[in-house]
Structure 1
Amino acid sequence: MKDDLNDRQKQIIQQLQTKGEVKIAELKEFFDVTDMTVRRDLEKMERSGLLKRTFGGAILASKDVALRERSIVRGVEKERIGRLAASLVQAGESIFIDGGSTTLQIARHLPEDANITVVTNAINVAAELSEKRIPTIVLGGILMDTTKSMVGPVTLETISRMAFDKVFLGATGLHPQHGFSNSNMHEAEIKRVAIQKAKESYIVMDHSKFGTSMLVSFANLNVVTAIITNESPNQEMVSICQTAETSIILA
């Protein structure tokens, strides 16, 4: 997505991220605009590689929405989540931060010269930490352009030999039956192993991800220490988290 998307087009992206598909008729009614206006919006975003038009609507061009585009959506909420997550890191700790638009905000809010060690598979996270002079270990592997993250056997082998005080991971969805999920199986496997190697694990996600399930589940609720989010989910999800002894921390 280019930075010149208007508010309506950004909202269409939000709906695609939540539902995976949108219909022209529904968008026309929702925004109270003409059929042609919606079609022009979809054409513009298709040219940018954000979606693929279908008969009567559109789907995500890839479930892996590019990081730059995801950063635009709910940017204020993600910034608040990242700041709070960064405040949980204590001096002397070894932590893992994976790739994503919300986890990137954690790196941006860690203090300069922090007495910690950060392991990451995300090259943009590593770049942020380098500017802050924070000791950082970057995992090797196959680079995913959509999230600027390393994945694959090399990444898994390296992370499996480590131990972390805390891990901070993004998630594309949280569903009562499907648990925490992600659209890419390679990234999901990295998340799963990172949780296994951590004393405490934190999922950072904005409220739009609650009730959503993506292709690959990487963790059940009961293996996660806490969810850091900007808005409390519905009472059903709150009760499920309480039963699983997973805290919900509001930013």
Structure 2
Amino acid sequence: MSSGLNERQQRIVDELKYKGEVKISDLKERFEVTDMTVRRDLEKLEKIGELKRTFGGAILTSKDVALRERSVVRMAEKERIGRKAALLVAPGDSIFIDGGSTTLQVARNLPEHSKITVVTNAINVAAELSERKIPTIVIGGVLIETTNSMVGQVAIESLSRMAFDKAFLGGTGVDPIHGLSNSNMHEAEIKRLAIRKAKEAYVVMDHSKFGASMLFSFATLSDIHAIITDQVPDESLDMACQAADTSVILA
């Protein structure tokens, strides 16, 4: 437990690290306390630099949770999702894989010497593919250290000249109204372009991202072919996927 925090405040910090955002109404119900108590907790956490308060809630001071921290959260679920996604790749495919702890599992589950071409903006994904002797193109750009991803104008210009059979993308949240979202503006821009350049776009995410809406939306549900995940979404999200003709593939 962080120094000076009570158990409730520490749990708020932990949830922020997983989701990137919390809402006062949710915290009030979860901890069975008043609005004022939650607001005091958030005020204290903001003073010590753990979060930034927003209207109705709070976000992480830095919305990018380091990849090394995320990679150990729900690892079994992410491995299953990665295996399921890798099965969708056919010989001869040209695919795009972006940065993230779940997309890394997609790369790890591609068979060695696969007769495909992978384009990626993630250094760790490229390293994994190199070990698996899979032809890989790494796009350049500005490095985001927290996710090992390359972004910016150089990356955008590279992607704009390519086309993919399939794209496999991570996401920080999915919501019926806000769609698929991410906490980093520059990564969201890359995801948005990759979806446009792919015949089929898949988002790989575990169930903890359901109902979360991060700052930057990169796609509506109808923009993508399917969400590959480990649990059936709740009724509202499931119905929204059906209405958008977006499949939910369970791993």
Task: Return the TM-score normalized by structure 2.
Answer: 0.82
Map 1:66-77 → 2, pairs under 5 A: 66-77=66-77
Report the CA distance shift for 1:29/1:197 in structure 2 as closer, same or farther (over 3 A): closer
Please tell me whether the aligned partners of residues 169 and 202 of structure 1 are also in contact (alpha carbons under 8 angstroms). yes
Map 1:56-205 → 2, pairs under 5 A: 60-205=60-205
**Partner Cα distance (2:20, 2:214) in 1:** 10
The one-letter code sitting in structure 2 at the alignment partner of 1:226 is A
For residue 52 of structure 1, what is the aligned residue in structure 2? 50
Q: Secondary structure at the match of 1:72?
A: coil
Deviation at 1:208, TM superposition (A): 1.0
Report the CA distance shift for 1:167/1:61 in structure 2 as closer, same or farther (over 3 A): same
**Partner Cα distance (2:194, 2:107) in 1:** 17
The one-letter code sitting in structure 1 at the alignment partner of 2:224 is V
Deviations 1:80-128 (A, max 9, x none): 1011101110000000000000000001111100000000000000000
Deviation at 1:60, TM superposition (A): 2.8
Q: Runs in 1 of length 4+ with deviation above 4 angstroms?
A: 8-12
Runs of 5+ consecutive residues of structure 2 not aligned to the other structure = 1-7, 33-40
The one-letter code sitting in structure 2 at the alignment partner of 1:148 is N
Please tell me whether the aligned partners of residues 171 and 180 of structure 1 are also in contact (alpha carbons under 8 angstroms). yes
**Partner Cα distance (1:22, 1:92) in 2:** 45
For residue 231 of structure 1, what is the aligned residue in structure 2? 231
Deviation at 1:22, TM superposition (A): 8.8
Runs of 5+ consecutive residues of structure 1 not aligned to the other structure = 1-7, 31-38
**Partner Cα distance (1:233, 1:165) in 2:** 27
The one-letter code sitting in structure 2 at the alignment partner of 1:154 is V
Deviation at 1:150, TM superposition (A): 0.1
Deviations 1:40-90 (A, max 9, x none): xxx9xx9xxxx72689xx963411000010011111111110111011100
Deviation at 1:16, TM superposition (A): 3.8
**Partner Cα distance (2:109, 2:12) in 1:** 27
Q: Secondary structure at the match of 1:233?
A: coil
Q: Secondary structure at the match of 2:113?
A: coil
Task: Return the TM-score normalized by structure 1.
Answer: 0.82
Report the CA distance shift for 1:104/1:11 in structure 2 as closer, same or farther (over 3 A): farther
Q: Secondary structure at the match of 2:249?
A: strand
Q: Secondary structure at the match of 1:88?
A: coil
Please tell me whether the aligned partners of residues 14 and 73 of structure 1 are also in contact (alpha carbons under 8 angstroms). no
**Partner Cα distance (2:115, 2:11) in 1:** 38
How many pairs are equivalent?
225
Report the CA distance shift for 1:16/1:93 in structure 2 as closer, same or farther (over 3 A): same
